[in-house]
Structure 1
C-alpha cells in the first residue's frame, strides 16, 4: 500500500467515520431528547434551567442543519489532513476531538444508565477509528504529541464546533 493511500484512508476516513456516527445521532438524537427530557430533569436537578430549555428547543430541522454545518467542519479537517499527509494541526485536532467526543458519548450513557444517541457507534466506530488513525500517523512519523493541555483544548474545540453548528443550524432552520 502506498503512503498516499494510507494517508487518504487515515484522513478522509475521519469524514467517513464521522458521517456514520452522525447518522446515528440524526436518526435518534432529537426524539431521544424529547422522550427523555423529564427523566433527565429528574436525574440531574442541579443542572441550570437554561440547559433544559436549550435541549428542549432543538427540533429535527435544526438538528439536521447543525449536522450539515458540522459536516463542513469535519470535511474541511479531512481535506486539510489529506493535503498535508496527515500533518495538519487542524486535522489532528479534529481527529483527537472526534475520539474524545466518543468518550463523552460513553460517559453520557453511563450517567443516564442507558443508551444515548451516539453511544452505539462510539465504541465500534469513533474510538477505534481514532486509535487506528493516530497509530498510522505515529508510524508515519507525523503525529503531534498530545499533552493534557491538548486534551482540554481538543474538548473545548469540539464543544465550540458543536455550539457553532447548532447556532448556525438554528439560523438555517428558521430561514429556509
Structure 2
C-alpha cells in the first residue's frame, strides 16, 4: 500500500474513531449545551428544548461520513494531492482544537474532546509530516478554501438530519 493511500484511508479511519465517541456521547453533551446557547443562535426551538435525538445524531454522523469518505477517496485517487482531500485533512485537524476549546469554555466534558487530543490531532500532525516529505501541503490556498467550504457541512448535516427525520414523523 502506498504511503499516500495509508494517509487518505487513515483520515476516514481517524474520523470513524472520533465520530464513534460523538455517536456515544453527543446526545447527553448537547442536552447540557443547547438550552444554554444564546437566543441569537439559529437552532429550532424544539432542539433547544428537547436536544438531539439519537436517530438525528446517527443520521448526521452518517451524512458527514459520506463527505469524509468522498474526501478520502479523492485522496486515494490523487495521491493526497486533491484539494478536497487536503482541505478535509486540514479541517479535521483544526476541528480537534475546537473540541478542546469548547470543553475549556464549558469547563466540562463535551462530545469529541476525548478523541480530539488522542486521535484527531495526532493523526493530523502525523499525516501532515508524512505528506510534507512528499512535498504535499494542506495549508496552501486551495486546501484552505476547501477546508473553509467544509465549515457549513457540519451544521448542514445536522439540519438535514433534523429536517429528514421531522418530515418522516409528519
Normalising by the residue count of structure 2, what TM-score does the alignment of the two structures yield? 0.85
The answer to whether residue 164 in structure 2 is matched with residue 165 in structure 1 is no
The answer to whether residue 72 in structure 2 is matched with residue 101 in structure 1 is no
Offset at residue 171 of structure 1 (A): 3.5
The answer to whether residue 116 in structure 2 is matched with residue 127 in structure 1 is no
Count of residues paired in the alignment: 165
Offset at residue 144 of structure 1 (A): 4.6
Q: Which residue in 1 is equivalent to 2:7?
A: 10
Q: Which residue in 1 is equivalent to 2:64?
A: 70
What's the Cα RMSD here? Answer: 2.4
CA deviations on 1:115-169 (whole Å, 9 max, x unpaired) are 110000000100010111111111011225446x93x863x43331112211222
CA distance 1:14–1:168, shift in 2 (3 Å): same
Query: What are structure 1's unaligned runs of at least 5 residues?
Result: none
> Contact 1:10 / 1:133 at 8 angstroms: preserved in 2?
yes
Offset at residue 51 of structure 1 (A): 4.6
Higher RCO, 1 vs 2 (CA within 8 Å, ≥6 residues apart): 1
Query: What are structure 2's unaligned runs of at least 5 residues?
Result: none
Normalising by the residue count of structure 1, what TM-score does the alignment of the two structures yield? 0.82
